[in-house]
A and B are shown apart, each in its own frame.
Chain A
């Protein structure tokens, strides 16, 4: 509301908004706090909010209990690797749709979007069997390919909307000067599109990092990322809340920070440009 509000109303609104924000964020904060408690403090009733013996031992035990670093490594390699490859395939496609459109370009874009609508369970069985026969189960290459295909349509869409904003005149000027198509893409288009590409990649990495249908079904140990690592804490072998919290904090912290930087792109990427 651009109109003047009374100071009282503004303070009341601020208090309400902060309270709501705090409540929504609380489970994350609580996980973070619990990760620094001893297992005993983690269970204590009444709960200890800030005044407990702070310890970092859970973080070390998470590593020794199960090889955390391997899962973290897999998460990084898979979410970055799959999307770099996807980007290499998506940039040319987005270029052609933005700068050399044909009558069918729109249909093509819509069709690519439609592949995102297919639920994973619809193709779980054949993919699982194919991967079993090709020895791609629990294999970084296999799950990486799946993650790449899941993001490819989103990457093409987002890049397309960013490329559309680049004035065509500049490309034509380069063409007049005799730049070849490859040079045009590398030296003219790419530098201008870097901000768009960077934010596209950010969103894509977040989505891959948190993907939990295929990673849980197609990996077990060697190629398993952090989603599967956390799932291993669901086994009722005894409750390790502080360790669960430490593992969870490690799994979500990097992506939470990345995510906060990419809020704007999030809206654009996840609604396929339908809400700006």
Chain B
């Protein structure tokens, strides 16, 4: 259908988006790459010199970097496990014949719409505070000592908060996938007397495998750069216990004014995200063809 006229018009109409996105992606990325080869401190901005890969060797030999890398991986993997497994369970429960499914759905999806700074502060104070928080009171009810979450379990606390933010997303996607499971297939399986567990592993799981993959990939992209939750609760601490790569780069750039080092860290983050992105793009690309 595309005549030459519409093809030309199409190019013109797509041009603003393409140009803007190109400028948004390539220019800053090139600058980051360039800065990462400089010794450039905002405290001494007149004294900029080319140091090649020195920032990288410095960054990669800094124990803080490996702590941050480990923290990033712990955070991403823990939240993935909790939200994906929890999401499948919650979705399976919501997919049953239950009364008021719509209301349950509204309650489950709620946390996804809460801005990160609110989630973090509400959990930190109202729920996890060791003296007046709700969890402390519940612990007391059971005769247990109150947990000082952010002092003794800082990373676990951040993981809990971020998991709460992402569980709804996983549940909603899984539920959407579950609901597209063929009714006849379910009935056939039930008629054959399939037990719940084999039914789940041989029929449900293969059916939602794609949704699970998509959730894992999309969440990973976002989880690699968790920032606000850490900023308002722990500030990366105590020490570096909750400093992930995103927070480390922020600290290096805006608190230590080390442009070169922060840029090198930024490039590392980009590389990490790209590894995940390649897999996600493949899946989405396949979908585009069908």
Q: A interface vs B, CB < 8 Å?
A: 1-3, 5, 10, 13-14, 16-18, 20-22, 24-25, 27-28, 30-31, 34, 43-47, 89-90, 92-93, 95-97, 99-102, 106, 108-130, 149, 152-153, 156, 168, 172, 181, 206, 209-210, 212-213, 216-217, 226-228, 230-231, 233-234, 239, 241, 244-245, 248, 251-252, 255-256, 258-260, 263, 266-267, 270-276
Q: B interface vs A, CB < 8 Å?
A: 1-2, 6-7, 9-11, 13-14, 16-18, 20-21, 24-25, 27-29, 31-32, 35, 90, 93-101, 103-123, 125-127, 131-132, 134, 136-137, 140, 164, 167-169, 172-173, 176-177, 180, 183, 186-187, 190, 210-211, 214, 218, 221, 224-225, 227-228, 231-233, 245-246, 249-250, 253-254, 259, 262-263, 265-267, 269-270, 272-274, 276-277, 280-281, 283-285, 287-289
Known: A96-B10, A122-B266, A230-B118. 6 other contacts (CB 8 A): A45-B140, A124-B250, A126-B27, A149-B24, A231-B117, A234-B231
Q: Are A93 and B269 in contact (CB under 8 A)?
A: no
- Given known A-B contacts A43-B132, A212-B227, A227 and B269 have beta carbons under 8 A apart: no
Q: Are A114 and B262 in contact (CB under 8 A)?
A: no
Q: 16 A-B pairs, CB-CB below 8 angstroms?
A: A18-B104, A20-B108, A31-B122, A110-B281, A116-B221, A117-B276, A125-B249, A129-B259, A213-B246, A216-B231, A227-B228, A230-B118, A230-B121, A234-B117, A252-B113, A263-B172
Contacts of B281 in A (CB 8 A): 110, 113-114, 117
What does DSSP make chain B's interface, helix, strand, loop or mixed? Answer: helix
Q: How far is the CA of A62 from the CA of B9 in the complex (A)?
A: 52
Q: How far is the CA of A125 from the CA of B285 in the complex (A)?
A: 31
Contacts of B93 in A (CB 8 A): 13, 16-17, 20
Contacts of B224 in A (CB 8 A): 119
Q: How far is the CB of A18 from chain B (nearest CB, A)?
A: 6
Nearest 3 CB-CB pairs, A to B?
A100-B10, A96-B10, A92-B13
Q: Are A21 and B266 in contact (CB under 8 A)?
A: no
Q: How far is the CA of A129 from the CA of B267 in the complex (A)?
A: 17
Contacts of A106 in B (CB 8 A): 285, 288-289
Q: How far is the CB of B10 from chain A (nearest CB, A)?
A: 3
Q: Are A244 and B245 in contact (CB under 8 A)?
A: no
